[in-house]
Structure 1
Amino acid sequence: MKKRYMALLCSIALTTGTLAGCGNSTDPKKEEKTVDNTPLEVTIATPQVGEAPKKGSDIELAIEKYTNAKIDIQWIPDAAFEDKKNIMIASSEMPKAFKVKANASTLNAIQSGLFWEIGPLLKDYKNLSELSPMYYDNIKVDGKLYGLPLYRDIGRAGIIYRKDWFSGLGLKPPVTLDDWYNMAKTVAEKDPDKNGQADTYGFFLDKNYNDPVLSSSFLTRLSVPNGAPNKWGVENGKIVAEFMTKPYMDSLKLLKRLYAEKLINQDFSIVQTADSDNKWNAGKVGIRVNTVATAAALSFDNVSKSTPSAVVDVVPFEGPSGLKVPAESGNNGFFLFPKSSVKKEAELKRLLGFFDKLLDAEMSTLLTRGIEGKHFTKTEDGKGQIKDLTLFNLEVKPYRDSLPSFETAGKGLPLKQNDLQAKGSKIAQDNLKSVVPNVALTFNSKTYAEKGVELDNMIRDAQTKYIMGKIDDAGWQAELDKWMKAGGEKVIAEYTAEYAKQKK
C-alpha cells in the first residue's frame, strides 16, 4: 500500500514539475520507463498554401503548447516543391515529417527503404486507429503503410449550378451526356444573364480537365456517372485505362462536339484553374463541378458579389444508372518519416503521438476554426462561426491545409452552416455509398514508375488534339497505339498481374 501511495505521489510530481524525493530509485528498468517530457522537435516540409504564415504565429504556438513540441515548418512554394523534394531525397537531408503526394518519385523513394513503415504502430494511437481503413489502404505501397494522410472526403464531387438560370431556361441539372450538351447549348445561346452578349457558358474548362492522376479531374467526374471506370477499371479480368472504354470516349466526344460548336471556351487548353474560378465569380458560368462540402457555399458567396441576384444550388452527380462519383484518394498528400532524420523507433512513436494529438478535439478546432475571439465566435447553439474570413485564410487555412485534421470525424467544434453548406456536406457523406474506386490506385508498375510522366503527357495531348479537331477517330486510335507501344501495354500487363495477385 505504501509503495502504491509513493508511486502516486511521484506521478503527480512529474506532472507538476516537482521531482524532489522521487529521484532516488535504484531500479534502472523503472528509470527506462520514465516518460520523456522534453519538447519533441518536429521539423516539417510541406507545399506552401497561399502566403506562408510567420514563424511563431499564434496558431503555431498553440500547437506547440498542446502537443509539447517545438515545430519548424519549411513552407516550399507549390510550383517548386517536386524539384525540392527530389533534391532533399537525393541528399538525405530531409525533415522528420515530409509531406508528399503520390507519384513515381515518391514511390521509388518508399520502395528504396528510405522511410519508416508505420502500419503496425497505428493501433497504439486512439485517433489514428479509429478512422476508416480506406484512408490508409489508398496510400499503401506493396501492401504496407508508410504515410499518414491529410484526410479528405472520399466522395467529394457534385454539381454546383446557377438555379436562377436553370429555372429561367427550363433546365434541370444534367444526368445523361445529351443533357450536358443541351444544357451547354442553352446557356451559351439563350443569354441567361440578359446582357445581350454571347458571353455565358454551361461550364468553363481549364487545362487540368483531363489530369491523368487525379480522380477529381473534370473528364473523370463527367464520365464515371455514365459508366466509365475511375482512372483504371477491370474488363474481363484485365485492367483497362479509362480512356480505352466507350463511356469515357463518349464523354470525350461530347467535349469535341461542344468545342466545334463553340459552346465551351476555345482556350481551355491553356486556362489556369484560377481563371476558370474567376469566370464563375463574374457570373458567366452555369455549372461548376467541384467539392460540394465547402465549395457550394463559397461559390455562392463569390458569384453574389458580382451578381447579387444569383441563386446557387448543389446536387450530387447522377448518371443513367443512378448516383455515381469517382472515389478520390481520401487525402491531400501524406506525411512520410525519413529514416535519415528519425533515427530510432522511439522517436518515430513520439512523432506519431504528435500527429495523433492533432486529431484531438482541441487541435481539430484550432486547425479548422482558429482561435476563439480572433478567428471564430461561438453561436448560441454551440457551433463555430468564422469571424473574419480574410484573417482566417491568412492565419489558419495554411495550417488546416497542411496538417492532418478531420472535420467529418465529428471532433472539434462543428461549423455553423447555412442551408447550402449543410446540403453540400450531406451530399459528400451520402456519396460514400456510391463511390467508384480506382482499382489500380495502389498497384505497382515498374514501367509506369519509369515512364509515367511521358505516357500521361501523350494521352493528355492526344485528348486535347481530339477535342480541338486536330485529329479524328483514326488519329485518336493511332495515338492510342503509340501509347501502347511506348509502354502503356506493359503498364496494363503489370497492373493486371497485381490485380490477379490481390484476387488470390
Structure 2
Amino acid sequence: MKKKLNVLPVVAISIGLLLTAAGCSGGTQTAKTPEAKPADPKAAAAGEAPKNAEPVKFTVMLRATPEFSPDNNPWVQEINKKANAQITWNAVPLANIWEKRNVLLASGDYPEVIILDTPYDTMYKQMVKNKVLLPLDDYLKDAPNIMKYSNKASLDAVKDPDGKTYMIPRSTIVREDFMAIRKDWREKLKLPVPKTIADWRAFFKAVATQDPDGNGKADTYGTTESSEMMSLQASNNLEFFARAWHADKQWYDNGSGEVAYGIFAKDGRFKYALDFYRQLMLDKSLDPDLITNKGIGAKMDKFNKGTTASMRTFAGNLDAQLLNVVKKVQPSAEVELVEFPTAPESDQVKNEKLVSTNSGLYNAWGLTTKAKGKEKEIIKAFDWMLSDEGWNVLKNGVEGVHYKKENGNIVRLEPEYGNFSKWIGHLAMFRRPNDEELWLKKVVPELYPYQKEWLDKSIKYVETNYKQNGLLGIVSEKETEFYKKDIYTKKFAEVTAKIVYGELPLTAWDDFLKEVYAAGWEDVTKDYNDYYKAHK
C-alpha cells in the first residue's frame, strides 16, 4: 500500500483561484541569479525580503477565477516587490486545469511551478519517474514559514516511497462539519434541539406537515439529497445521520485493533441509515424531488430558498454562505448548528473509535525541472507568502488599495477582495490552516460569537473523537481503483435510492455488500488493517 494523501476531490476546493489560460508555456529560462545569503529565521517569519539579491523570475501554473488578471494588478505588483520576485501567474479555469497541465507536461513546455491534484493526480507518479519534479527536502530546511504552517501529517503524507518530498502541501483546517437547521422554524414548531434519530424524524415531520414558513402550502421538507445519493461528495447530509450507527464513510477501530469502514461494515449497519431516510420518505418529509438534484449546490440552494430545514455545513460558512443568503430570501430566518445524532439502540458505537485518515492536506505544489538552479530562490519567495507580512498581503491585499487600518482593525476598501476574487492568484497553493480570520468573515457581525464557538467545537471534535495514529494521510491505491468501478459509480447509487424509495427491501443492502467485497473491498480493508497495525 502506497502512502498517499487523503483530501477531498478538487471539485470541493473552497479557496482555489484559477488563472487565464494565456501564456501557459511558462518555460522561459533566465540566467541564474546570484545566490543570496540565508535569511535570518526571525526576519523570515516576519516577512523581510532577502537583501541585495536579484528578483527570481519564474512562472506558476494554477487555477484562479476567470476574472483574475495579473496585468496592472496591484496585488501582483505588491507580491513581486515584497517577495523579491518576478512571478508570472498563468491561470487556467477549473474546468480544464488538469487537462491543460497534462498537455503541457506531455509536450515538455511546462512552467517552473505547477499545482497537483492530490491524491488523485494521475500524472504524479509519472512526473516523479521521469524526473520532471525536483526533490525539495534540502530547501525546506531554510523555509521556516512553510514548515510552521504545514500540518506535520500533511508533510508526512506527501513524502514519496523513496523518502523524498517532491511536492509541498497546502495544509487546511482539520475539522468536522455539523448540521445547520432553521432555528426559527424549530422554535415556531415548539420543538427542542434534536439529539436522537427519533428527535430528528419528529422535527422533519413537523416541518413537512405544520407549515413553518406560514405560506399556507405544504412545500417545506426536512432534508434533501443529491440524485447521486452516495457519491463521493453528494452524501454529506445522509452521512451526518449515518454517524449515529457508525455507518458513515469513516474508518472505525472495533476495540480489538482492527478497522472497518462504516458504510461497508460487514454487519450491514448502513441499512439503518437507509431505513431512516425511508421513514422520512414515508413521512413525506424527505424532499420528493431529490432524484432531480444535481450535486451539493442543489441541496444548498433548497436550504437557502427555504424549501428544506437542514443543510450540513462548515461553521466558517455559516454567515457568508448560509445566513446572509437565506436572509435575503426570508429576512426573519435564523440558523443554528446541531451536533451529530445518537441512536440509543445502536450496538455499533459502544466499543468503537473513529480513526482519522485526514492529514489536512488540500492540494499541493511542486517545482519542475524548468526551475533547476532556482529552487532556493523560489522556495524563499514562497516561504515569504506565509510570513506575517506575506500572509497579510495574501489575505487582505494591498494597504491603501484593498484595505486600510483604523484603530488596529482592517477596513475593506475593495469588498470584492477575497476568495475567488479577481484580485488574487495564490489560491490552491498557500494557507495558514487555523487562521481564524480566514474562516470567519464577519459578514453578519452579530453572529460572530456563535460562529466562533462552533468553529472551535468543530476542531475539538476531531481532537476528542478521532484516533490520530495509524491512518493519517492514507489512501489505499486499491480503494482509489475501487471507486472507479461500476459497482460504486453506478450500482451503489441505484441500490441506495431503491431502498430509500421502497423499491427494494432493507436486506438488499446485505446482498449488495457481498458484491462490494467480491469486487475488491476485501482487499481494501486488508490494506488499511495491515497499515493500521504497523503504524498505530
> CA offset at residue 361 of structure 1?
2.2
Q: Confirm or deny: 8 A CA contact 2:247 2:262 kept in the other structure.
A: yes
> CA offset at residue 491 of structure 1?
1.9
Distance 1:406 1:393 in 2: 14
Partner residue of 1:348 out of 362, 375, 379: 375
Distance 2:299 2:424 in 1: 22
TM-score normalised by structure 1 residue count: 0.79
Task: Describe the shift of the 1:362–1:275 C-alpha distance in structure 2 as closer, same or farther (beyond 3 A).
Answer: same
2:518 corresponds to which residue? 485
1:404-462 CA-partner distances (Å, limit 9, x unpaired): 13273479999667242343234223333321369646335343354432264253444
SS in structure 1 at match of 2:290: coil
In structure 2, list runs of 5 or more residues that go unmatched.
1-33, 39-51, 344-348
> CA offset at residue 264 of structure 1?
2.0
Q: Confirm or deny: 8 A CA contact 2:204 2:222 kept in the other structure.
A: yes
1:463 corresponds to which residue? 496
Task: Describe the shift of the 1:216–1:385 C-alpha distance in structure 2 as closer, same or farther (beyond 3 A).
Answer: farther
1:75 corresponds to which residue? 91
Percent pairwise identity: 22
Task: Describe the shift of the 1:293–1:450 C-alpha distance in structure 2 as closer, same or farther (beyond 3 A).
Answer: closer
Q: Confirm or deny: 8 A CA contact 1:188 1:198 kept in the other structure.
A: yes
Q: Confirm or deny: 8 A CA contact 1:151 1:331 kept in the other structure.
A: yes
Partner residue of 1:384 out of 368, 386, 410: 410
2:306 corresponds to which residue? 283
Count of equivalent residues: 468
Partner residue of 1:125 out of 143, 146, 154: 143
Is residue 263 of structure 1 aligned with residue 285 of structure 2?
A: yes
Task: Describe the shift of the 1:90–1:462 C-alpha distance in structure 2 as closer, same or farther (beyond 3 A).
Answer: farther
Task: Describe the shift of the 1:97–1:491 C-alpha distance in structure 2 as closer, same or farther (beyond 3 A).
Answer: same
Partner residue of 2:237 out of 215, 218, 240: 218
Distance 1:316 1:282 in 2: 23
2:263 corresponds to which residue? 243
Task: Describe the shift of the 1:107–1:187 C-alpha distance in structure 2 as closer, same or farther (beyond 3 A).
Answer: farther
TM-score normalised by structure 2 residue count: 0.74
Is residue 252 of structure 1 aligned with residue 252 of structure 2?
A: no
1:227 corresponds to which residue? 246
Task: Describe the shift of the 1:400–1:469 C-alpha distance in structure 2 as closer, same or farther (beyond 3 A).
Answer: farther
Once the two structures are superposed, the pairs formed by residues 185-224 of structure 1 within 5 Å of their partners are 185-207=205-227, 210-212=230-232, 217-224=236-243
Distance 2:127 2:479 in 1: 15
2:8 corresponds to which residue? none
Task: Describe the shift of the 1:393–1:286 C-alpha distance in structure 2 as closer, same or farther (beyond 3 A).
Answer: same
Of structures 1 and 2, the larger Rg is shown by: 1
> CA offset at residue 368 of structure 1?
2.1
Task: Describe the shift of the 1:74–1:325 C-alpha distance in structure 2 as closer, same or farther (beyond 3 A).
Answer: farther
2:25 corresponds to which residue? none
2:473 corresponds to which residue? 442
Is residue 330 of structure 1 aligned with residue 360 of structure 2?
A: yes
1:100-134 CA-partner distances (Å, limit 9, x unpaired): 33234256447646534445643422212223423
The one-letter code matched in structure 1 to 2:391 is S
Q: Confirm or deny: 8 A CA contact 1:368 1:405 kept in the other structure.
A: no
SS in structure 2 at match of 1:402: coil
The one-letter code matched in structure 2 to 1:259 is M
Distance 2:195 2:202 in 1: 11
More helix, by proportion: 1
1:305 corresponds to which residue? 328
Query: Which stretch shifts more, 272-281 or 403-412?
Result: 403-412
Distance 2:193 2:136 in 1: 44
Distance 1:288 1:423 in 2: 17
2:117 corresponds to which residue? 101
Q: Confirm or deny: 8 A CA contact 1:118 1:145 kept in the other structure.
A: yes
Distance 1:85 1:277 in 2: 31
In structure 1, list runs of 5 or more residues that go unmatched.
1-30
SS in structure 1 at match of 2:59: strand
Task: Describe the shift of the 1:325–1:349 C-alpha distance in structure 2 as closer, same or farther (beyond 3 A).
Answer: same
Partner residue of 1:273 out of 290, 296, 301: 296
**RMSD across aligned C-alpha pairs, in angstroms?**
3.7
Distance 1:202 1:352 in 2: 50
The one-letter code matched in structure 2 to 1:70 is Q
Once the two structures are superposed, the pairs formed by residues 24-173 of structure 1 within 5 Å of their partners are 37-49=53-65, 51-104=67-120, 105=122, 108-109=125-126, 112=129, 114-119=132-137, 121-131=139-149, 132-142=151-161, 145-173=165-193
Distance 1:221 1:325 in 2: 17
Is residue 296 of structure 1 aligned with residue 335 of structure 2?
A: no
Task: Describe the shift of the 1:331–1:250 C-alpha distance in structure 2 as closer, same or farther (beyond 3 A).
Answer: same
Distance 1:49 1:326 in 2: 32
Distance 1:373 1:468 in 2: 58
The one-letter code matched in structure 2 to 1:420 is L
